[in-house]
Structure 1
């Protein structure tokens, strides 16, 4: 595990090793104390005093398994086979050490075995054999394996949770960065055409109109750059920004562009992602209005239906087999026609409203195309 992952891992709300370690062996003592007291009471010579040998066994096990933590922490990157070998051999080694300690404690309390004399090499019991120290070693080995399994299981769980969270955070940050990049990537054609129109107005001497266009342009750019792409705004504010953009475009196209709004009062207060409609209108201007000599119409509507907000942008552009037609045939998702702005809308809707939105493009009955967006109704 590299340092960045390890540091992130350590920041998660993982319980302390020492707390879990202590609680685990305390549970071991409590379980066997209860067994001896209630289920094996006929064979329990010590009564409540059976608690003391169990405590000694638990303490010795806790002390012996504590170093395993440092061994296992260095084994995360081992191949599976070598990891299993390490766990089994380490557990067996601890069991070999723990079993005599546990047995001596039990003999001392149950049989009055002279542990101190035995450690000094005295012949304390003629019937004693050395192998008796390792009786029930399989039981001890199993208990240490359980401890090792719990150690790896808990750590792998929190590691998986942490790495999953890191992955989700990375995706979110990547998405936010992408949205901000696209938000700052103002269409150069729009800026060029707008500045060219302002220059033309200045040359004609229409300074008042040119100044108004500059003011609207600066206000629109400020709105588009200052808003947080992760935050939502009221539809009313979105439409105000859209009107600024359309006023700039109407100055360019003059009588060639007519805009109609049909917005329900209830819909104006609902929340929508900022700059949701502007790329759609820009797309209509580029592929419909700019291709017409006169009579260009863009209709923008918003209404509530079935607890959803319906947004529609339609134009009356020429219905010919051009890029726009291919755009519809390919379901608006797999085409270069839409550009980064509209593709950004599609991706934003997927992230903000997973499985709760619709994005449809259709041909109008007479001519032109209509884009329809359906999102959940959301109050500020």
Structure 2
């Protein structure tokens, strides 16, 4: 679609610009003593409007020669020929319209188009069309750049979504296997416990499916997911597993990526509490400071020489997710001492608008 004719406001601006140019030409004719102002306006305004619409065809000439596949010699030949033809057409229009006005008006005020004036009209038409070609060529080049940027942004968005889907799918399957094995063992010695664990496991996976497709959920929703997860694990580990959540009142409605806390709790159990005879307590602390949400997960671990610290895949995936969503605005750090593992996150605070 033509960039001028497809936009009404742009079309009006183009018409106004043509009329102003026509008024300027009329003024020049009057200053040169060639005719009166009334005749000059009657002559120049329609001519410039026709010339403007003639120049608008330069857009299609530029579109017929894509910049990426254009040769300089071909461009010079086509642009020069189109400008030459346009200049001749406009010169013919000038002579024809002037003769019409001469027939309608008094001879004393009519404009006599001499050979010198004909050359000026031709050069004006030639230059106008050539400028239109260059202007539309520049417009198409910028439009192609904007389109390329839009395609690149869309590609980045698709790549980010694909990466997030992969990262979300990398939940440790051992949790499900261990839970099913525990349910199987409990059916013989504690049927009620097996039933309770089955219900808790179903609730956990039901909520997982409801939040996994969302880009962000409230912290309260994530905490409920963690509670369902811990309900399953506490049936397995009993009093060996404890948990404490310290959440400030203004942090509960913060928006966060789904399932960033649950894998951390799973790691805390798998690589920490499970290997301790006396068990331990997982402490989750969340608070808001200015425009940042701070989250920390702390759990006891075995000796520094223990081989149960894992390969760091879950923490690496967490950093990748934050990088895909927040770029460089989020931070994830962790440290391990002889008896404790501490992970800290800081991400931009976003309020859940639906609450």
TM-score, reference length from structure 2: 0.80
Residue 167 (1) aligns with residue 152 (2): yes
Counterparts of 1:104-123 in structure 2, within 5 Å, are 104=95, 108=99
1:88 equivalenced with 2:86 (yes/no):
no
Shift of 1:106: 7.7
The residue number in structure 2 matching 1:178 is 163
Q: 1:353 aligns with which of 310, 326, 330?
A: 326
Note closer, same or farther for the CA distance 1:239–1:74 as it changes in structure 2 (3 Å cut): same
Return closer, same or farther for 1:320/1:276 CA change in 2, 3 Å cut-off: same
Aligned position for 1:208: 192
Aligned to 1:378: 350
Q: Aligned partners of 2:4 and 2:324: how far apart in 1?
A: 33
Show the 5 A alignment for 1:127-146.
133-135=118-120, 137-146=122-131
Gaps of 5+ in 1: 1-9, 114-124, 328-336
Q: Distance in 2 between matches of 1:272 and 1:212?
A: 30
- Unmatched 5+ residue regions in structure 2? 104-111
Distance 1:228 1:296, change over 3 A: closer
Q: CA deviation at 1:222?
A: 1.2
CA distance in 2, matches of 1:345, 1:14: 46
Q: CA–CA distance in 2 between the matches of 1:225 and 1:181?
A: 15
Shift of 1:146: 1.8
- Map residues 302-317 of structure 1 onto 2, 5 A cutoff: 302-317=286-301
Q: Could you tell me which residue of structure 2 aligns to residue 236 of structure 1?
A: 220
Q: Is the 8 A contact 1:22 1:62 kept in 2?
A: no
Q: What aligned pairs does 1:249-268 form with structure 2 within 5 A after superposition? A: 249-268=233-252
Q: TM-score, normalised by structure 1?
A: 0.75
Instruction: Name the structure 1 match of 2:229.
Output: 245
Aligned to 1:53: 43
Of stretches 56-65 and 212-221 in structure 1, the one that deviates more from structure 2 is: 56-65
- Residue equivalent to 1:97: 88
After superposition, the C-alpha distances for 1:180-231 in whole angstroms (9 at most, x for unaligned) are: 34434542211111111111111x3311111111111111111111225444
Q: Contact 1:26 / 1:58 at 8 angstroms: preserved in 2?
A: no
Give the conservation status (yes or no) of the 8 Å contact 1:33–1:51. yes
Q: How many residues align?
A: 342
Q: Deviations over 1:275-300 (max 9, x none)?
A: 12112222222332344333343221
